[in-house]
A = this chain, B = another copy of it.
Amino acid sequence: MSPARTTAGAPISSIGRAIAVLGCFNERRRALTLSEISKKSLLPMSSTHRVVAELVTGGFLVRGSDRKYRIGTRMWSIGQLAPVSDQLRHRALPTLARLYEETGENITLAVLDRGQALYVDRLGGERSVHTGARAGGHLPLHTTGVGKVLLAWQTPAAIEKYLGRPLERTTPYSIVDPVKLKKELDETRERGYALTRQESTAGNGSVAVPILRGGRAVAALGVVAHLTHLDIPRLVEVLQAASESIRHELENDH
């Protein structure tokens, strides 16, 4: 009897293990030692060692001079072929860059993916604050500006469905009460943009606007900044202009 196959109930295939290993990496832990991978993936060391070695051979992992493993260029390269709102990203990028120049703060572009906000692009690293958002990363809908926007402009049914699930708390300011969140979403829809104050990360606030098509948000555009920098009226203005501009780009020749 082989323990690993009996522990979790469902037997895990070799490929499933490889994916599990790759899944250990995330925005917080981009470099892992073998033991860390072993712990996170719940695989025995020797199995981890073998799987990891094969992934390195395939170029999906690389081992740095610090002996830690990282996601390899090959994985990035193939990943780029995924259809992740390609149109949107291409059309929006120049506008995002302009926003970044104007504000000097983190600019984020997110879409709805599997009940979370998927950040498809993010501009502005060192000049601005550190946020949880990363291109390729997922964050909850109810704690982020772009998330609240994406949720507010969904169908009522989809909103209800989201409210029915447990709402995770990430800071003391997170809105985790379904009733309060529903009210917040209504207000967001009314005023046309969303605000957060330390609901996702301490010290930060955000403003976000939807990119609308047929009454639904196909994406959300946001600015994250330190609370003390947050000039809301100005940001709302530039964001709404940018959103309009992207909407036009999307409508042109397509």
Q: Please determine whether B77 and A137 come into contact, CB atoms closer than 8 angstroms.
A: yes
A57 within 8 A of B: yes
A123 contacts chain B at the CB level, 8 A cutoff: yes
Q: Does A39 interact with chain B (Cβ within 8 Å)?
A: no
- How close is A91's CB to chain B, nearest CB, in angstroms? 8
Does A30 lie within 8 Å of B81, measured CB to CB?
yes
Q: Are A54 and B16 in touch, CB under 8 angstroms?
A: yes
A253 within 8 Å of B by Cβ?
Answer: yes
A70-B83, A123-B93, A253-B126 known; A16+B57 contact, CB < 8 A: yes
| Contact indicator per residue, chain A 62-90, by CB within 8 Å of chain B (1) or not (0) | 00000000111101111111111000001
Within 8 Å of chain B (Cβ to Cβ): is A132? no
B84-A73 in contact (CB<8A): yes
At the interface, yes or no: A51 with Cβ under 8 Å from chain B?
yes
How many copies of this chain are found per oligomer? 2
Tell whether A23 pairs with B78 under 8 Å between CB atoms, given A54-B16, A94-B97, A123-B94: yes
Asked whether A136 lies within 8 Å of B80 as measured between CB atoms, the reply is: yes
**Contact at B73–A75, with CB atoms within 8 Å?**
no
* A122-146 near B? 1/0 per residue, CB < 8 Å: 0111100000001111100000000
Taken together as a complex, chains A and B put the C-alpha atoms of A59 and B138 apart, in Å, by: 15
Indicate whether A230 reaches chain B with its CB closer than 8 angstroms.
no
Q: Which residues of B contact A18 (CB under 8 A)?
A: 15, 18
Instruction: List chain B residues, Cβ under 8 A from A22.
Output: 78
A146 to B131: give the CA distance in the assembly, Å: 33
Q: What chain B residues lie within 8 Å of A60 (beta carbons)?
A: 19
> Which B residues are in CB contact (< 8 Å) with A71?
78-79, 81-83
A244 interface contact, C-beta 8 A: no
Whether B73 and A82, one on each chain, are in contact in the complex, defined by CB atoms closer than 8 angstroms, is: yes
Q: How far is the CA of A252 from the CA of B57 in the complex (A)?
A: 36
Nearest opposing residue in chain B for A79, CB measure? B79
20 CB contacts below 8 A, A to B, read: A15-B15, A15-B18, A16-B57, A18-B18, A19-B58, A27-B81, A70-B83, A71-B78, A71-B82, A75-B75, A75-B79, A75-B82, A76-B79, A76-B136, A78-B79, A78-B136, A90-B123, A90-B124, A90-B126, A126-B254
